[in-house]
A = this chain, B = another copy of it.
């Protein structure tokens, strides 16, 4: 049953089944679902979205400096300092000054942080991956192709190391003005 059920009942009955609309609609739902999921997930564990994003990035890339973290999650160093303060307050990460270059700080997960991430793992992304595995290869190929086409249509920038499936943050626009708006946890 490779044919997904369209928005409308029949498969191809109406005058013109506006696929453009369906596409935008699906995208909205995906965006929203991911956003929602991230928030609920974080809230459930007493974290905020940005905190979870940072925690995951620290886990993903191993011990690193606040500056690197700032770049990989696309937030300013000042913002990262605040987030790290809170994560450290909760005992999820530890900061240590480096020996060879004492300007630098090394941020790493504590056991508690790693444990929490372990519990946090399952949700959306994992479930999604499992279901993806359950599909037959040909369907996966088709989905991959379609998504890449969407990416191309959007001129999506290439991200070498994107933060996990998560709303996260913006990459650039270091212009003027005060902060603009992230989402809380």
Contact = CB atoms under 8 A, between A and B. Distances in A.
Interface stretch (A56-64, A89-97, A102-110, A150-158): A150-158
Interface in A119-159: 124-125, 127-129, 131-133, 137, 139-159
A24 to B, nearest CB: 7
Contacts of A2: 145
B32 A144 contact: no
B128 A25 contact: no
A37 to B, nearest CB: 8
A159 B31 CA distance: 12
A46 interface: yes
B36 A144 contact: no
Copies of this chain per assembly: 2
Given A35-B168, A168-B35, A178-B184, A147 B49 contact: no
Contacts of A50: 181
Contacts of A49: 180-181
A147 B30 contact: yes
Given A2-B145, A144-B23, A170 B183 contact: yes
B181 A137 contact: no
A116 interface: no
Contacts of A78: none
13 contacts: A6-B148, A22-B144, A28-B162, A28-B163, A29-B154, A29-B159, A32-B171, A33-B157, A43-B180, A48-B180, A142-B142, A178-B184, A179-B184
Given A31-B165, A42-B181, A181-B185, 11 more contacts: A6-B144, A28-B162, A29-B156, A29-B157, A30-B150, A32-B156, A32-B159, A32-B171, A35-B169, A39-B181, A46-B177
Nearest 6 A-B pairs (CB), nearest first?
Answer: A180-B185, A181-B184, A180-B184, A182-B183, A146-B146, A26-B147
